[in-house]
């Protein structure tokens, strides 16, 4: 059986896993994200030990970004303009290639997770869909017409601009680039700062924070529907662990679109259209394994 290495490279932690072509994760560890040197040394040590026992076939890296996902670019596989100290213009994929000399797949963390959902989760059989995460940041990846979403660079769907009623919500937003873009208003850290709590986890299900959050995420979903015409939108991330939230978004999306996108998937069956990840918390790591498997097939 071919064994694949999948690395979910996040701004706070790296999850390194080993899995197979069925999407089964055999083992995994979590490494805190410190300096690139220290973090990557630990990543390489983990896989070195595994590679001694059972030979790895390929690596997949789904990374926080922005990244360069263009294989024809000289900086392919780099983390590029991140404000995260030490990681700007870091050649993350090259570091893995140098250490293991195996086929490698690379994409954004959210495109990776989308690929995982496509192969083994809630997006099986679809060709146009999105995977959105609402956590420390907001990001989305996915496919259009069967191809992973890339372009000039890659989508940055967290940084769209949505209506912000400053009387109702005077909070200025936390995005260092835009202030009150969607990410500035609706990401986990914005909830924490607006309501003065230690974690969004501390806000009970009936707190008004969740109605406001649902109204922002409904704008997001409505905009994505209008732009891409996805067959499904999968929404995960730490903030969505608030179980009351998803059900609050559904009717708001329908209300915003007002019957204009005249398809039963939205007008009648929105609970099956805007859904939680089929792979639950494993979408990211399974996605990285899926990137490795794809790289192995394409080698």
- Provide the 10 A C-beta neighbour count for residue 171: 17
* Residue 175 touches which member of Zn ion, ligand ADP, none, C-beta under 5-8 Å by kind: Zn ion
Q: Compute, in degrees rounded to 10, the torsion defined by CA atoms 123, 220, 66, 3.
A: -20
Residue 178 as a binder of Zn ion (CB under 5 A): the answer is yes
Least distance (Å) between residue 209 CB and ligand ADP: 9
* Residue 260 touches which member of Zn ion, ligand ADP, none, C-beta under 5-8 Å by kind: none
Least distance (Å) between residue 8 CB and ligand ADP: 9
Q: Which of residues 128-157 bind Zn ion (CB under 5 A)?
A: none
DSSP string, 102-123: --EEEEEHHHHHHHHHHHHSTT
* Residue 12 touches which member of Zn ion, ligand ADP, none, C-beta under 5-8 Å by kind: ligand ADP
- Please answer whether residues 133 and 110 qualify as being in contact, where contact means their C-beta atoms are separated by less than 8 angstroms: yes
Nearer to Zn ion, 39 or 190 (CB): 190
* Residue 201 touches which member of Zn ion, ligand ADP, none, C-beta under 5-8 Å by kind: ligand ADP
Nearer to Zn ion, 164 or 250 (CB): 164
* Residue 189 touches which member of Zn ion, ligand ADP, none, C-beta under 5-8 Å by kind: ligand ADP
Q: Which runs of E-coded beta strand occur in the chain?
A: 4-9, 13-19, 25-32, 58-63, 78-79, 90-91, 104-108, 129-134, 138-144, 147-148, 232-236, 274-275
Question: Which of 159, 193, 207, 241 is in the footprint of Zn ion by CB under 5 A?
Answer: 159
* Residue 159 touches which member of Zn ion, ligand ADP, none, C-beta under 5-8 Å by kind: Zn ion
Nearer to ligand ADP, 57 or 215 (CB): 215
* Residue 205 touches which member of ligand ADP, Zn ion, none, C-beta under 5-8 Å by kind: none
Binding residues for ligand ADP, rule: CB under 6 A, are 10, 12, 133, 135-137, 188-189, 192, 199-201, 237-239, 241-242
Nearer to ligand ADP, 30 or 75 (CB): 30
Report the residue count for the chain. Answer: 299
The pair of three-digit structure tokens given for residue 45, joined into one six-digit string: 């040590």
C-beta nearest to ligand ADP: residue: 188
Nearer to ligand ADP, 103 or 137 (CB): 137
Report the C-alpha gap between 110 and 93 in whole angstroms: 17
The pair of three-digit structure tokens given for residue 128, joined into one six-digit string: 């146009």
Residue with tokens 């997001």: 220
Q: 188-195 and 208-228 helices cross at what angle (nearest 10)?
A: 150
Report the C-alpha gap between 211 and 232 in whole angstroms: 23
Q: Which residues bind Zn ion (CB under 5 A)?
A: 159, 175, 177-178, 181, 183
């Amino acid at each position: 059986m071919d064994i694949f290495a999948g690395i979910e490279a996040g701004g706070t932690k790296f999850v390194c896993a080993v899995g197979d072509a069925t999407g089964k994760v055999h083992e995994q560890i979590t490494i805190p994200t410190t300096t690139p040197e220290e973090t990557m040394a630990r990543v390489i040590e983990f896989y070195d030990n595994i590679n001694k026992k059972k030979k790895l076939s390929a690596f997949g890296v789904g990374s926080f970004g922005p990244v360069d996902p263009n294989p024809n670019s000289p900086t392919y596989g780099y983390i590029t303009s991140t404000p995260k100290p030490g990681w700007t213009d870091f050649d993350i994929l090259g570091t893995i290639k140098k250490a293991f000399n195996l086929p490698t797949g690379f994409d954004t963390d959210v495109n990776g997770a989308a690929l995982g959902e496509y192969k083994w989760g809630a997006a099986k059989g679809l060709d146009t869909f999105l995977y959105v995460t609402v956590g420390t940041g907001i990001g989305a990846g996915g496919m259009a017409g069967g191809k992973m979403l890339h372009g000039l660079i890659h989508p940055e769907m967290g940084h769209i601009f949505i209506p912000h009623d400053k009387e109702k919500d005077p909070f200025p937003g936390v995005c260092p680039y835009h202030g009150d873009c969607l990410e500035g208003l609706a990401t986990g850290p914005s909830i924490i700062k607006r309501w003065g709590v230690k974690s969004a986890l501390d806000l009970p299900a009936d707190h008004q924070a969740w109605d406001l959050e649902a109204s922002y995420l409904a704008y997001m979903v409505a905009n994505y529907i209008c732009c891409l015409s996805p067959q499904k939108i999968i929404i995960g991330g730490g903030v969505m662990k608030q179980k009351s939230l998803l059900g609050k978004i559904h009717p708001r999306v329908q209300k915003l679109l007002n019957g204009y996108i005249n398809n039963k998937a939205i007008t009648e069956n929105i609970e099956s259209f805007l859904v939680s990840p089929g792979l639950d918390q494993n979408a990211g790591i399974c996605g990285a394994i899926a990137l490795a498997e794809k790289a192995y097939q394409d080698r």
